Amino acid sequence: MSVRVQLSDYLKKYVPGYGRNTGIVMESADGRTVRMIIEELKIPIKEVSIVMVNSYPGNTQSTLKDGDFIFLSKIFGGG
């Protein structure tokens, strides 16, 4: 199974060699969840606030399938 992961600028610091515009293509076993991908990338789970799977809202328990696109980000506040 192959999935593509795109990270917000804030989360890129956790993944050395992250492709600036292309993201990461990961080969993984079927039935993986977003949380498992986050753990494989060694991103602290508490840093991920927004999960999108194929441009739709998801969560860390979303089960992935071949060809999925995942976007991960942190919520920022302003003031």
The residue ranges of every structural domain in the chain are: 2-73
How far apart CA 70 and CA 55 sit, in angstroms, is: 8
pLDDT of res. 18:
81
Is CATH 3.10.20.30 what the domain over 2-73 is classified as, yes or no? yes
**C-alpha to C-alpha distances, 45 to 8, 35, 53, 66, nearest whole angstrom:** 14, 8, 17, 23
Provide the pLDDT for residue 20: 66
Cβ(58)–Cβ(52) below 8 Å: yes
User: What pLDDT is stored for residue 35 in this prediction?
Assistant: 97
Q: pLDDT per residue over 11-67, tens digit each?
A: 999 998 886 667 898 987 788 999 999 999 999 999 999 999 999 999 999 999 999
The model carries a pTM of: 0.89
